[in-house]
Amino acid sequence: MTIKRMLGTAAAVLMAAGTAQAQMSDGGIKIGVLSDMSSLYTDLSGAGSVLAARMAVEDSGIAGRSIKVEIVSADHQNKADVGSNTARQWYDVDKVDVIVDTPNSGVALAVNEISREKNKVFLVSGAASSDLTGSKCSPNTIHWTYDTWALANGTGNAIVKTGGDSWYFLTADYAFGHALERDTEAVVLKNGGKVNGKVRHPLNNADFSSFLLQAQASKAKIIGLANAGGDTTNAIKQAAEFGIVKGGQNLAGLLVFLTDVHGLGLPTAQGLIFTEAWYWDMNDANRAFAKKFSAANRGIHPTMIHAGVYSAVTHYLKSVEALKSDADGKAVVARMKATPTEDTLFGKGTIRADGRKIHDMYLFEVKAPAESKAPWDYYKLRATIPAADAFRPVADGNCPLTKS
């Protein structure tokens, strides 16, 4: 089944079993996948996140235990007001119990507050801002896959320690870009480096020429791309046209996804170093998931966001079943935090009091074309960042939930 057929015109999937009475107080579990379905983040999240949620429901076996699960989806269009209105409609009218995915930190921060207000559950796989487990942390939210602190400390540390000690930032001008620039700059300065300058560009930008010329003029060794998706790939392609790397400067893709590398092609992307939480070709379980996923996704392989959606929904369903209720969002999240996580894609992990899901992170390098042996064989592992070191220490996050 393809994603197009799965979504249909109503963009919804219904998973049900028999006619037995559901255990949930409102007759079942309703999951809302709020994502970018039509713009620069659609390949790395989008309909693939709906598919990942569906696979998690199927693999959980919950339908066989006579619990009905419905999945609905919507396009937030990378606009906080659109995402907020959708969240309110889902919670107030459509009886959605949990919202998942939500790439775009501006949208996610808005939905974070609405989920707290409505006492629902918000499982963030797509958004990156570390503020979601910092000053904006909520008892209703879990930040699952990665964040700006992890990206900055993985990629930034590696680059500064290998000589990249002067930086210029090209930053997406919204919450995610600001957080990624902030967290990476802190790493650079902590390690004795310096920031020669920074410039902020509009989201979903097509022309990076003026920004790249400013970066080139800065003479910084590293041009840090504090953006993602189509913005990252456009910047990298145009930097190649400008001959920036040949001129002695290097690019740091601070958030790079598998689909970005695929879109760039190995001749352009080779040598990029970046941090991710998951890669499809690391073990047999990941490869089995990718095979099933790509078969329903026009051959496109899963990103770490898709894996995070699968993992988060899996743990959510376990916790709701254990409670025998999904009515109290705070209670569900508390149960999720109290229960060690374990699934086929991320293995064993934990969820901290601040809502940060903890697992290993990985520093990857994009292979040269001659090193790639098969389609989507793009990464080589440079280092594993242990779970204990991968994310910001609780004490440094300023999360009210961790204060006595």
In contact, 303 and 259? CB cutoff 8 Å:
yes
What pLDDT, in 10s, does the model give residues 165-199?
999 999 999 999 999 999 999 999 999 999 999 99
Q: Per-domain residue ranges for the chain?
A: 3-146+282-359, 149-276+360-390
Instruction: Give the start-end residues of each E strand in 255-404.
Output: 273-276, 341-343, 347-351, 357-358, 361-366, 379-385
| CA–CA separation, 65 and 369 (whole Å) | 48
pTM of the model: 0.93
Burial of 264 (0-12, 13-18, 19+ CB in 10 A): buried
| CA–CA separation, 251 and 373 (whole Å) | 25
What pLDDT, in 10s, does the model give residues 201-227?
999 999 999 999 999 999 999 999 999
What pLDDT, in 10s, does the model give residues 325-350?
999 999 999 999 999 999 999 999 99
pLDDT of residue 24: 65
Q: Give the CA radius of gyration of the chain.
A: 20
What mean pLDDT, rounded, does the chain reach?
A: 93
pLDDT of residue 66: 87
Amino acid present at 313:
V
Amino acid present at 171:
T
Domain 3-146+282-359 has CATH 3.40.50.2300: yes
149-276+360-390: what fold? Answer: Rossmann fold (3.40.50)
Q: Considering only 150-154, 172-176, 245-249, which range has the smallest mean pLDDT?
A: 245-249
What pLDDT, in 10s, does the model give residues 83-119?
999 999 999 999 999 999 999 999 999 999 999 999 9
